[in-house]
Structure 1
Amino acid sequence: MKKWGVICLSLMLMVSAVLSACSNGEGGNSGGNNKEEDTQLTLSEPGVLPITQEKTTIRITVPQDPTVISYEYGENELTTWLEDQTNVHIEWNLYPSTDSLEKLNLELSSGGDVGDLIMAFEVDNAMLATYGSQGVFRDLSDLIDKHGHYIKKMYDEVPGVQQATTAPDGKIYSLNTIGECYNCDRAMRFWINSSFLEVLNMDVPTTTEELYQYLKAVKEQDPNGNGEADEIPMVGSPHSWFAGVDDFIMNAFTYQDSDNLYVKDDQIVAAFTTPEWREGLRYLNKLYSEGLIDPSSFTNDENQMRQMVELNDGNTVGAVPGGGQHVFAANDSTKMNYEIVLPLEGPDGFKNAYYNRYGKIAGPEFILPANGKNADVVMKLIDVMYSPEFYMRARYGVEGKHWEKPEEGVLAANGGQALYRIIGKDLWQEPQQVHWHGQGAAWPTFGSDAREALPEGQFDLESVLYKAAKAYDEFAAEITVPRFFFDNDTSRRFNELKTEIKKSVDAATADFIVGNRSIEDDWESFQQELESIGIEEYMSIMQEEYDANWK
């Protein structure tokens, strides 16, 4: 009898769970496991604020940006404004910025609680397709249809974005950042110390040989004039914006995109398997073996690189790779002392500039976990984040306090009409409580080069980067590999291969440059290592997708 009672109780609990699930499914609101929460709320029409009449709380998981002092309501101006406008309170689930994606992966794979919205993680399409097909990420199609106002406008005004972000199963697992940054798509740049050039009576290098001669002179001829051999010919960082020592220089030997791949004659090529890449490594090894590349270049973070560049009042380092002077210099006087180097001509006459032709459609910014709550509210909040006002606040701060609209006829950094003017100092690189350092700022209506040009004599990063990008355009080939979206099984395998191949290439590149591996004796073993990982399968997966949808 006791056993029979337990069985009856179990049956009753099962029936109760089924009835509960059925009742939660009524009411027509979408949201996966959150329908019961949403059906209790009074939601506004698309694009209308506040989002709900009832104060509603959601949890957002985000990597904690090191420049954001606080994300909390009453402490962060963007959070306070957003909550007041929407009637939605945000509880922040902050991950350490270091290894945040690994932590997210661990939580997702173990069924951990990642809140109601995943925001600003560097998730790729393979990860989206894998977790999406497993039901870990929610399909956003119905939510966009119901609640999209600014999102639908973005789809209309940015052709191809909806197609590019739709998974092979026809579902949408993320809403992506749309980029309006002309210089960012041409950011594999290189900078040289102008005062050193003047002292050494040398011109800006135009070839790899001229760069070698310049770096050698920096090391040997005491261009800072302090009587000490303390000059650093070249320094970089693997943890900053295109500041790896091989990023820019390799373009004098081979085509490459940010994954060291390229498309030529409709064939996808892994640059790191080519003789040209090997030649580039020979050149870089020559620089390193002669003390022209600082050893810290393979371990520096951005701050450590800046500290080195700022030694001796910014008069120590001869050359630095990087997206802009702001990534390697702290003081404006130092930034102004470094000028752009145009793409170098290699020993065989090759010359190329990096250009990301697919850069406008950036990576996933917003993902809804399927077990999150109040999905309708979350989607309406995301929609607000695609509004022009949110973007300006999320990037620049409060109008009238941190920025303002210039008068008609005021020139921008790009030479057109200026659309905004910074009041005081741009807080982008500063510790602050004004915004989230761009996190959630998904759709700019114009690029940062639309800022008012600064007066002569001031360091104007936007003008410098715009002019540098324009100059690089002359040498930029359209060879970028598209952002592929594979089905679940393919994406899982592709992700595995990509991770292992990148790990192998990064390690081997550093080893060849510093001489831990011989370019002459160990090149074939490196290629065999790639083969054992599955380089042929990796390339075949991409080529098949390219032939089917991008050729």
Structure 2
Amino acid sequence: MTMKRIARSGFALTAAAAVLIAGCSGGGEPKANDAADKTKDGNVNATGLPIVKEPLTLKFATTKSAQQKKPHEEMEAVKAFEAQTNIRIQWDATAQGQGYPEKKNLMFAGGDLPDVFFGPESLRDDDLLRYGPQGLLVPLETLIPKYAPRIQEILDNNPSIKKSITAPDGHIYSIPTIVDGMESALGEVWFINKTWLDKLNLQMPTTTEQFEQVLKAFKDNDPNGNGKADEIPLSFLYGNALNGIYSFSGSFGTLDNGSHLSAIDGKVTFTAVQQGFKESIAYLNRLYKQGLIDQEAFTHDRNVYFAKGRSKGGAVYGVFSGFHTPNVVGTEYEKQYVPLPPLKGPGGQQMWNEYEPRYFARGGFAITSANKHPEASLRWIDELYKEKNSLQWSYGPIGVTLKENADGTYGNMPTPSGMSYDEFRHSEAPGNTSAAAILMDTVAKMEKNDNVKKRLEYLAIYKPFMKNTAYPNILFDPKDMERLTVLQTDIMTYVTQMQPKWVIDGNIEGEWNDYLKKLDQMGLKEMMTIYQSNYDRYQSVK
């Protein structure tokens, strides 16, 4: 039932960040007590419901999913919450993919701001860093302790969340959307064809050496029995966090990821210059030269990768990387595959990436300078972040799409015939475009669907080998962000070119020193200094 974590493509700085600086110098330093002065509103109840004594209308800007057919104001979850709080929302909702970013930019440029930007897609990091210091977004850090006890509790119990939403100027400009799920701690899983192992009387490989021998057997012995040499011993989707090879380098002592950034014991490093990264590439080149790796692994897209896995006439993948087996090989072949535990490398290392088990979007709820009722607005989102309210806005009203069991757990009502679960979920609630706080204690009470159960089974296999070395989700200093955008473009492009080249053509040993020198010329040391200084600031937030 938990929301699937957004695919981890690594820490990417977008080109949009470059527009930050032009807008960051004006407006002066916003003061949190400026907003506090606005909150002396006799219409607001300090605690309890309703939030306001007399009805209040606020304007929210948000997005809506393609599965949402009703306007927000007609949805049961929204209408019930309006009745409880006495606050009516005037919704300015833009369908996903229908020009919301441009519309949002015009709101800021024209001064026609809503009272609140609502939902995980409502504001990006560069919006917070640009418009917060200009005074167009209200600082919340002094208001939260007074008017948002639920949110304060979340921040107190989860220090990393507070660190991640605190801007370089020390202010908090938005309340994040948070949806936990232990299954999200695991990224890609490597699956091996157990049917082939059994047919060829092979044991499950536990080392990189044994793995190579198994792949050779898969290649040479027609394990799918169709009389064709169509077996692909190993395939993956290069550069993809859920179908790729980032964790594989853990068998050589270095865990890689899409950003090639690692933070261990307070020190930030670039994984693509580490010895383990180099050794893993040399090993993959050894496999590639023997025809053990899919010749298209570095070039095919998701559709081709999946299509090959589902090819008629027998399974062709011996080992593949994926999120769920049927995603890649379909339901016809999925039962042939089982998870392959992390392999022990030549030096005895055996590691796999662990990720933060959380979907996290900073832009959940931000109050603008146009809002004359920040106290009531903050009390509104604090109420929404209580367990039942967040669940009902995310998964639908209790008794309609969600059910509450006698033991305090939650499950799904049966999905009507002819309707998908996602359509049902969004029939009476905003669903995945709603701000929400669904934390691990709530997740523990939620009925797990089959996909989540499977992912938790995979997690149990991989957990003993998992280590979280990823660089955290940080709000960067705007000037640093601008500089990183420039540096990262050249450096990441170069690394992305060289890794496949070395796997396919070899000679990493002969070219490694030149590679390191070129990265230095591109500004790698400067880039890492920026990452380290922002990491140190992040760690200093209390």
Give the secondary structure class of the aligned counterpart of 2:213: helix
Deviation at residue 461 of structure 1 after TM alignment: 3.0
Aligned to 2:200: 200
Other structure's SS at 1:343 match: coil
Residue 342 in structure 1 maps to residue 341 in structure 2: yes
Partners of 1:298 and 1:104 in 2: CA distance: 36
Report deviation, 1:117.
1.0
- Within the candidate set 495, 504, 508, 1:519 is matched to 508
Say if 1:234 and 1:293, in contact at 8 Å, map to a contact too: yes
Kindly indicate whether residue 438 of structure 2 is the aligned counterpart of residue 444 of structure 1: yes
> Shift in Å at residue 539 of structure 1?
1.4
Assess if the C-alpha contact under 8 Å between 1:46 and 1:149 holds in 2.
Answer: no
Given that 1:127 and 1:495 are in contact with CA atoms closer than 8 Å, whether structure 2 keeps it comes out as no
Tell me which residue corresponds to 1:92.
93
Structure 2 unpaired stretches of 5+: 1-32
Q: Deviations over 1:327-374 (max 9, x none)?
A: 54654x655543222111223322112123x55593414253746656
Structure-1 residue corresponding to 2:459: 469
Q: 1:316 to 1:518 in 2, by over 3 A?
A: same
CA deviation map 1:171-222 (0-9, x unaligned): 1022223453223223343222333333333333322333333344444433
Report if aligned partners of 1:57, 1:91 keep a CA contact under 8 Å in 2.
no
CA contact (8 A) 1:70 1:76 kept: no
Q: Give, in whole Å, the separation in 2 of the partners of 1:447 and 1:47.
A: 22
Alignment check: 8 A CA contact 1:59 1:93 kept: no
Cα distance in 2 for residues equivalent to 1:76 and 1:313: 48
What secondary structure does 1:462 align onto?
A: helix
Q: In structure 1, how many angstroms separate the alpha carbons of the residues matched to 2:83 and 2:305?
A: 40
Alignment-mate amino acid for residue 309 of structure 1? G
Report Cα offsets for 1:219-247 as digits up to 9, x if no partner. 4433333334444444434686x224322
Q: Which amino acid aligns with 1:225?
A: G
1:538–1:55 Cα change, 3 Å: same
Deviation at 1:464, TM superposition (A): 2.9
CA apart distance, 1:277: 0.8
Describe the shift of the 1:300–1:406 C-alpha distance in structure 2 as closer, same or farther (beyond 3 A): farther
Distance 1:496 1:118, change over 3 A: farther
**Structure 1's 142 and 194: CA in aligned 2 closer, same or farther, altered over 3 A?**
same
Aligned counterpart for 2:480 among listed residues 490, 508, 531: 490
* Change in 2 beyond 3 A, CA 1:429/1:100: farther
Residue 254 to residue 383, structure 1, CA distance change in 2 (3 Å): same
Displacement of 1:470 in angstroms is 3.1
The residue aligned with 2:6 is none
Query: Does the CA-based 8 Å contact 2:387-2:442 persist in structure 1?
Result: no
Deviation string for 1:293-324 (max 9, x for gaps)?
Answer: 252664524x6544443333983433332344
Which residue number corresponds to residue 214 of structure 2? Answer: 214
State percent identity of aligned pairs: 22
**Does the CA contact (< 8 Å) of 2:365 and 2:381 recur in 1?**
no
Q: 1:390 maps to what in 2?
A: 389
AA aligned to 1:170 is: G
Residues 406-445 of structure 1 mapped to structure 2, 5 A cutoff? 406=405, 419-424=409-414, 430=422, 433-434=426-427, 435-436=429-430, 438-445=432-439
| Whole-angstrom CA distance in 2 between matches of 1:463 and 1:493 | 43
Q: How far apart in 1 are the matches of 2:136 and 2:195? A: 55
List per-residue Cα deviations over 1:130-177 (Å, max 9, x = no partner). 553344644233553564243233234434533442223221022223
Specify whether residues 483 and 91 from structure 1 end up closer, same or farther in structure 2 by C-alpha distance, changes over 3 A only: closer
CA contact (8 A) 2:151 2:382 kept: yes
Q: Secondary structure at the match of 2:341?
A: coil
Letter in 1 for 2:61: I
CA distance in 1, matches of 2:490, 2:128: 19
Do residues 56 (structure 1) and 54 (structure 2) align? no
Per the alignment, residue 536 of structure 1 pairs with 525
Look up the SS of the partner of 1:60 in the other structure.
strand
Conservation of the 8 A alpha-carbon contact between 2:188 and 2:244: no
- Residues 404 and 192 (structure 1), Cα distance of their counterparts in 2 relative to 1, 3 Å cut: farther
Q: 1:110 to 1:274 in 2, by over 3 A?
A: farther
Note the 1:305-384 alignment, pairs <5 A. 305-312=305-312, 315-325=315-325, 327-328=327-328, 331=331, 334-356=333-355, 359=357, 362-366=360-364, 368=366, 370=368, 376=374, 379-384=378-383
* 2:302 is equivalent to residue 292 of structure 1: no
SS at match of 1:474: helix
In 2, Cα distance between equivalents of 1:237 and 1:374: 50
2:12 equivalent in structure 1: none
Amino acid at match of 2:90: H
> Residues of 1 paired with 2:329 and 2:397: CA distance?
27
Are residues 88 and 134 of structure 1, via their aligned partners in 2, closer, same or farther at CA, if it must alter by over 3 Å?
closer
1:412-435 C-alpha deviation (Å, 9 max, x unpaired):
xxxxxx933344469997555345
| CA 1:490–1:73: 2 relative to 1, 3 Å | closer
Letter in 2 for 1:295: E
SS in 2 for 1:92: strand
After superposition, give the CA deviation of every residue in 1:459-518 in whole Å (9 maximum; x if it has no partner).
x33333223323323223453434445444334434544455444433443444454x86
Give CA-to-partner distance per residue, 1:32-75, whole Å, 9 cap, x none. 9xx8xx9999666556357795573634344x656x35463378
CA contact (8 A) 1:52 1:88 kept: no
1:485–1:55 distance in 2 versus 1, CA, 3 Å: closer
What is aligned with 1:167?
167
- Give the deviation of 1:276 after TM superposition: 1.8
SS of corresponding position for 2:192? strand
Where does residue 7 of structure 2 map in the other structure?
none
Aligned-residue RMSD, C-alpha: 4.5
Higher RCO (CA-CA < 8 Å; seq separation 6+): 2
Alignment CA distance shift 1:371-1:476 (3 Å): same
Aligned equivalents of 1:117 and 1:171: distance in 2?
17
Deviates more, 1:309-318 or 1:166-175: 309-318
The answer on whether the counterparts of 2:187 and 2:242 sit within 8 Å (CA) in structure 1 is: no
SS in 1 for 2:132: helix
Q: Is the 8 A contact 1:31 1:375 kept in 2?
A: no
- The answer to whether the Cα contact below 8 Å between 2:325 and 2:334 also exists between their aligned partners in 1 is yes
Conserved 8 A contact 1:254-1:352: yes
CA distance in 2, matches of 1:313, 1:113: 60
Once residues 448 and 188 of structure 1 are traced to their aligned partners in structure 2, the CA distance between those partners, rounded to angstroms, is: 22
Mapped to 2, the partners of 1:439 and 1:419 lie a distance apart of: 24
Q: Which moved more, 1:243-252 or 1:155-164?
A: 155-164
- Alpha-carbon spacing, 1:168–1:528, altered in 2? closer, same or farther (3 Å): same
Q: Which residue of 1 aligns with 2:71?
A: 72
Counterparts in 2 of 1:392 and 1:361: CA distance versus 1, 3 Å: closer
Aligned-residue offset at 1:536: 0.4
Contact 2:343 2:350 in 1 (8 A): yes
Aligned equivalents of 1:226 and 1:114: distance in 2? 64
Contact 1:192–1:341 under 8 Å retained in 2: yes
* Counterparts of 1:218 and 1:104, CA distance in 2: 54
Between the aligned partners of 1:528 and 1:437, the Cα distance in structure 2 is: 49
SS at match of 2:176: strand
CA contact (8 A) 1:385 1:440 kept: no
> Distance between the aligned counterparts of 1:161 and 1:484, measured in 2?
10
- Counterpart selection for 1:505 from 495, 499, 523: 495
1:207–1:345 Cα contact (<8 Å) kept = yes
What amino acid sits opposite 1:292 in the alignment?
A: I
- Size of the aligned set, in residue pairs, is 497
